[in-house]
Structure 1
Amino acid sequence: MKIKLLTTAILSSAMALGMAGTAQADEFPTKPLTLVVGFGAGGSTDIQARVLANVLEDELGQPVNVVNQPGAGGGVALARLANNTDEGYTFVFGTSMTITFGPLSTETTYQLDDFRYVAGVTLGQSAMVTGEDREFGDTWEGLIEYARENPGTSYATQTALDRMIIEYIARQEGLDLRIVPTAGGAGMAPLILSGDVDFGYSGGTHSGYADSGEMPVLLSLAEDRLVAFPDAPTLQEAGYDINAAEIRVVMVPKDVPDAHVARLAEALEAATQDERFIEITEERILMPVTYIPEDEVTQTLADQVEGYKALLEELGGLPEDEE
């Protein structure tokens, strides 16, 4: 009888612990969360993140504090996140380029499989752009023809990824370009608008000139044509077999419990239907809002990594000044 009673007590305790664990997971979150942005304050990612944090507070019932950790194109924030152990209370909102191409272009302390990709919420709108009243007009075909006839046509680069893309295009088209490194959109825009540089890469700065027409888009680097510049062809439409599509995604360390990831995903899906998030994203920074679940995001990013590896192999690596 004592053995039976003892066994019953042990089973009851185990069941109680199991139920407590389930309840604890179901209650996530029980304290404030931290949304980390890997870029400085004031940029489009930061602006979007702050509205996203407000929406998530309502959905999760806890404060969501935004912290900026700029550096290495978002890499500093991911390096810190990889070592985080708070089970989903800290997460990064950033661009997929940081995790797909970053570890291929420079030495990092993290890789793709160090994280879980809770959900994508926005599709990036990066592009090749130019200024008004250029000799080659405002079409990609016009630029290519002009650049073939004018060696030294100048290109403003911002990232290792866009540098690789333009290197590939230059080889395909037989172009001899002059590459001008710039520090982000703030460095690129004055050179393009003044005419000091012929064309360049823009991660989103061009959206601010959609109404004025001062920065025409020549080529979309997104999977589809850009929302605000539907006349510009995509990379694939222009004949280049590259998938450089950017997803703005929420990332957590790989060991975060499934229940916590599921709760964050649920809140993020609700955010993509919230008018506040839609307004700031689609009307202000001119990027389409879309919900992409974890499994789809993860597969897309893995496919991109393989594509970039193949392209780097074809090119023989990055140009020396970008390695």
Structure 2
Amino acid sequence: MIKNTPRRHLIVATLALAFAGWSHAQAYPNKPLTMVVPFPPGGAADITARLVAKGMADLMGQPVVVDNKPGASGIIGAEFMLARPADGYTLLLASNSVTTFKWLYPNVSFDPVKDFRGIAIALQSPYMAVVGDKFQGSEIADLIRAAKDHPGKIDYATAGNGTGPHLFAEMFKQATGTFMTGIPYRGSAPALTAVMSGEVPVYFDILLSSQPFLSSGRLKSLGVSSKERVPQFPNVKTFAEQGIKGLEISAWFGVVVKSGTPEPVIQALSQAMNKVVRSAPFVTRAGELGATAVGGTPESFQATIADETAAWGRLIKEKNIRVD
């Protein structure tokens, strides 16, 4: 007879936990999933979510229903997801804007580092300094020279205070020692229109948004924030190539769940999502949109959320940035 020693109890408990985790993973998912998109239908986030949802549904054998819940810069959708059980059946298509919420909205009810659990980044898109076709110059040095020759007289468009284009512009000014004046618009579409009309000379937009206008020649790019030149516009030099360091930043869309979701479920979601975003159709579609498919582990995505939350916090505090 085997005695009930403390060591035996520990072994039995460990095996029980491992089996429970295995059985949970085998049973998951056994009902439809919901992917919350905190933005309106038709935009880049919505397109990304539907591509990921369709691929994950095919792999996991359950429908993944896309549910658009726009409002408050994405906060409403995030809070909706967090109000659901931490069981892996409600996902959130998050953007990198979640890493700025706690700094821009002091009363926000959640902390993305503590309350989100990353699954994987679906795609990322670099920032570009885009100007109208009448802009005198073709490289970032031309913009820097104009800004330094006329301090405070050169305007740049933003998609609103505290948005990604605004924060990137602040980083650009910091990296180049320039002083330009930000003009907030209500989103990227009117900001791009202002640049194309000549109302404002430059806008730091993500490629995913500005690509159609760059392809048509209505806009041109002075530089891109990616580590390497983007395939869609191989003649556009990176900022680093042009001597500006520290601007290798991209906007991203990724899937997160509520913190506390069982680890076997996290891993099941991650495996499915990585198969989707690394598939040839997804990679091709991402390129057509002006983005790059990413993927990766839950741990690496969680680290990205934590690192960017800290970095944007430093910038927002230093520049005393406030939302509209």
Q: TM-score, normalised by structure 1?
A: 0.84
Q: What does the per-residue CA deviation read over 1:161-181, in whole Å, with 9 as the maximum and x for residues that have no partner?
A: 432342344355454423211
Change (3 A) 1:58 1:172: closer
- Which residue number in structure 2 is paired with residue 110 of structure 1? 110
Change (3 A) 1:142 1:254: same
Does residue 170 of structure 1 match 2:173? yes
Runs of 4+ that moved beyond 6 A? 15-18
- Which residue number in structure 2 is paired with residue 8 of structure 1? none
Distance 1:197 1:316 in 2: 22
> Which residue identity lines up with residue 53 of structure 2 in the other structure?
A
Displacement of 1:84 after TM fit?
Answer: 1.8
Displacement of 1:45 after TM fit?
Answer: 1.7
Question: Residues 1-323 of structure 1: matches in 2 within 5 Å?
Answer: 22-85=22-85, 87-95=87-95, 97-107=96-106, 108-111=108-111, 112-135=113-136, 137-150=137-150, 151-159=152-160, 160=162, 161-170=164-173, 173=176, 175-203=178-206, 204-237=208-241, 238-242=243-247, 244-283=249-288, 285-313=289-317, 315-318=318-321, 322=323
Distance 2:211 2:263 in 1: 37
> Which residue identity lines up with residue 123 of structure 1 in the other structure?
Q
Q: What does the per-residue CA deviation read over 1:13-53, in whole Å, with 9 as the maximum and x for residues that have no partner?
A: xx999967743431211011111112111112211221221
Contact 1:88 1:260 in 2 (8 A): yes
Change (3 A) 1:219 1:90: same
Q: TM-score, normalised by structure 2?
A: 0.84
Displacement of 1:240 after TM fit?
Answer: 4.5
Change (3 A) 1:167 1:122: closer
Contact 1:169 1:240 in 2 (8 A): no
Change (3 A) 1:16 1:171: closer
Q: What does the per-residue CA deviation read over 1:126-150, in whole Å, with 9 as the maximum and x for residues that have no partner?
A: 3221111212x23211111122223
- The DSSP-based 3-state class of the residue aligned with 1:118 is strand
Displacement of 1:260 after TM fit?
Answer: 1.0
Displacement of 1:242 after TM fit?
Answer: 4.7
- Which residue number in structure 1 is paired with residue 11 of structure 2? none
Distance 1:91 1:243 in 2: 28
Identity of aligned residues (%): 25
- The DSSP-based 3-state class of the residue aligned with 1:35 is strand
Contact 2:24 2:264 in 1 (8 A): no
Query: Structure 1: which 5+ residue stretches go unaligned?
Result: 1-14
Report how many aligned residue pairs link the two structures. 304
Distance 2:226 2:77 in 1: 24
Contact 2:175 2:244 in 1 (8 A): no
